[in-house]
Structure 1
Amino acid sequence: MDGFLLSIWFDKIPEKTVVWSANRNDPVEKGSIVELTTDGNLVVKDQKGRQIWSPISADTGISYAALLDTGNLVIASQDNTILWQSFENPTDTLLPIQTMKLDTQVIAQYTETNYSSGRYKFMLQRDGNLLLYTTNFPSNDAVAPYWSTQDSIGTGFQVIFNQSGAIYLAARNDTLLNTVFPASESTPTQDFYTRATVDYDGVLRQYAYPKSTVYKRWEMAEGMDCFILPTIKYLQEDRWKVWRGACGYNSYCRLSDAEQRPICQCIGYTFIDPNDIRKGCRLNFSFCDDEG
């Protein structure tokens, strides 16, 4: 994906990891601007002056925008009332102290290097059920669930990522209904940067990055190696007969040794799109009727 995004990322580590973006599906070219307009609106405009993104309509009394140390971008009125915040409008990542309300969804990016919306979503439905879905790509419409907290229907109210690093589904009265990721004593948030991301392969993973040492990449730290949901192996087993695999139709998927990422291959087939191997494979020859 070419172009520029209005983004939030971890800035104190060598790997500038993006955790939120405004115009993920509509990148702009060089010469575009971000502007707080005189009529009280925050907008992204392309190089031709066209409005590409705005979180709320004009004339709502916006006084300022601020990026908090939590990673939350807030837009507020003169009396400091928050009118909009990125924590309530996530892209593919959740951060500590962030919550997901009913009808909130977190959508994976398309590939490891393409930040546009991808094929999977993590969603807290209006009925309180928390699910991972495949989508009717390229739209974001949910197609089929491949993980769910079905016992939370009618009671689930919000997903909480607390300061201890735990992520859980809670009821309206704060009763814990389902633990998505438990807190890890080996990766306290005061010593580690942490995030939970719906990765491009459809797996929800929790990552940690030590604040005191410089690593070259994010790791699932000690004690967090099982903090992925669900596993790629589980997805490939197609438990509910709705999963189409992390590598698409007619393809073969194996896992990398280090990170358990899907490696897609075609056997007797060729990739439908070599630039997007997750579209699957097709026969590299065709059958024809004998007309002679």
Structure 2
Amino acid sequence: MSAAVVLLLLFFSCVTSNADEVTNFHISLSSSLTPSTNSTWISHSNKFAFGFYPTPNGYAVCVSFTNYFDKSRTVVWTANTDDPIVPDNAVMLLTEDGLVLKTFDSSETISIIGKSSRPVGGAAMLDSGNFVLLDYRGSVTWQTFDHPTDCIVPGQFLSPGTQLLSHASETDLRKGMFRLKMQTDGNLVLYDSDSLDVTRDAYYASGTAGRGNKTCLILLNDGHLFLFDGTSVVMNITAGGSPAFEVLYLARIDPDGIFRVYNRSWQPEDDWRPMWAVSDDKCYPKGVCGINSYCSYKDGDAADCRCLPGYNRISSVVGCISNLVVDCSDNDQSSKFEMTRIQNVTWEDNYYSALDVSSEQGCKEACLKDCSCRVALYRDGQCRKQKLPLRYGRWQTVIEDVAFVRVANSSTAAGNKVLCSSL
């Protein structure tokens, strides 16, 4: 990074907002949008749009590129990602309280987007991709840059304690399965969305823990992505290059859990291309296949999610469950069940019992005799009985674990007695 760029960044504090000072109100109080008529407010250069965005499930309130630059109108910010879809008869009104979303034929408020701490005097869709609410003096009182959803654009910070949340799919703008957290300890970490902020649940970390609570993630308009602590560059993630006026960039955590930096030209017929990715392995994200399953991947293919033997897939989010029923009062387990062997597969090693055994056969028998044991992992003479549900399953030839899974044998119909079933 050039000395000039570093000096410029010293004027910014990562723990404060990315405020743009705007003196002219592009959007005045009482202005409104509806999905069917005036559906968006456009930035000065016609680059970004704020307003109603059509999805296969209905309309959502978003900031997106306009189709002048991007035929697909790529979304860079989404309101209310827990439940982003709004009624077709919605109307959005700019008031002193913020953006109030109502139904057209009712005075009932659906939600307030960008609720301001000070009376709002106007708003603007900026050419940076930042939608801002302004007070009567023209100072920013709320902005989308302070509330990122799944991506950041050049000039935007991911501040300490904030995170990006993936979308559920390319067309479903609800929050999905993965998140990128800029932790207050200075570490940038990828997790699945339901996990705790703990090392065992992370599948990527920048290794910068301990660099302080001012460290943030920044993307510049040359594709340079880096961590900055308010004084110096902590870590360069991408190198970037010479700023190009006619090239667009964004950094996004995609629905598949991979964090990528994209670029494209301003030509409408062009498309986004990944210029960097945290991994090209589609099985890299922990939890990509859900519980009681494992992920297999070959270069160029999508992640192949497979259930444990005897388990059935519920969904890619949930994973797999079993209707296997075990009567723990029955001492003759081997007459009803057997252990199926799977090689080169492992999960999070969350065992409740570990035994030293002389062979794979010894591990199979130990699990079969224990009615609480559904799965055991064997390696180097140790048998580790696993707790259910199993998480973070992965198939790879380099994995030395051998798994044994309890299934009903051919003479038994699984689930005859509903006594204790497994996830």
Q: TM-score range by the shorter chain?
A: 0.7 to 0.9
**Per-residue displacement from partner, 1:61-109 (whole Å, max 9, x unpaired)?**
2111111111110111122211111111100011011112211211111
TM-score, normalisation: structure 2: 0.56
Out of 203, 222, 243, the residue aligned to residue 164 of structure 1 is 222
Whole-Å separation in 1 of the counterparts to 2:112 and 2:268: 37
SS of residue paired to 1:181: coil
**8 A Cα contact 1:63 1:78, kept in partner:** yes
Residue 214 of structure 2 is aligned to residue 182 of structure 1: no
Amino acid at match of 2:58: G
Superposed displacement of residue 172, structure 1: 2.4
Q: What is aligned with 1:56? A: 115
Percent identity between matched residues is 27
**Per-residue displacement from partner, 1:143-202 (whole Å, max 9, x unpaired)?**
6222112334243522111122111101121x11112222156xx542322111111111
Structure 1: segments with no counterpart, 5+ residues? 237-242
Out of 231, 242, 247, the residue aligned to residue 289 of structure 2 is 247
Distance 1:71 1:78, change over 3 A: same
- Structure 1 residues 144-153 or 263-272, which shifts more? 263-272
Q: What is aligned with 1:83? A: 141
Superposed displacement of residue 110, structure 1: 1.5
Whole-Å separation in 2 of the counterparts to 1:78 and 1:229: 43
The 5 Å alignment of 1:279-290 reads 279-283=318-322, 287-288=414-415
Structure 2: segments with no counterpart, 5+ residues? 1-55, 326-413, 419-423
Q: What is aligned with 1:67? A: 125
Distance 1:46 1:153, change over 3 A: farther
TM-score, normalisation: structure 1: 0.79
Residue 281 of structure 2 is aligned to residue 232 of structure 1: yes
**Per-residue displacement from partner, 1:5-29 (whole Å, max 9, x unpaired)?**
1111111221111110112222211
Q: What is aligned with 1:134? A: 192
Q: What is aligned with 1:206? A: 261
**8 A Cα contact 2:291 2:318, kept in partner:** yes
How many residues matched?
A: 266
**8 A Cα contact 1:136 1:142, kept in partner:** no
Q: What is aligned with 2:82? A: 25
**8 A Cα contact 1:135 1:142, kept in partner:** no
The 5 Å alignment of 1:250-265 reads 250-255=292-297, 258=300, 261-265=302-306
**8 A Cα contact 1:168 1:179, kept in partner:** yes
**8 A Cα contact 1:152 1:177, kept in partner:** no
Whole-Å separation in 2 of the counterparts to 1:182 and 1:261: 28
Tell which structure's C-alpha radius of gyration is larger: 2
SS of residue paired to 2:145: helix
Taking only aligned residues, the RMSD between alpha carbons, in angstroms, comes to: 2.8
**8 A Cα contact 2:129 2:153, kept in partner:** yes
Whole-Å separation in 2 of the counterparts to 1:252 and 1:127: 32
Amino acid at match of 1:278: V
Q: What is aligned with 2:202? A: 145
Distance 1:285 1:40, change over 3 A: closer
Distance 1:62 1:2, change over 3 A: same
Amino acid at match of 1:262: A
Amino acid at match of 1:218: W
Superposed displacement of residue 267, structure 1: 7.5
**Per-residue displacement from partner, 1:230-279 (whole Å, max 9, x unpaired)?**
4436726xxxxxx33x2223445345765x64344558554213xxx232
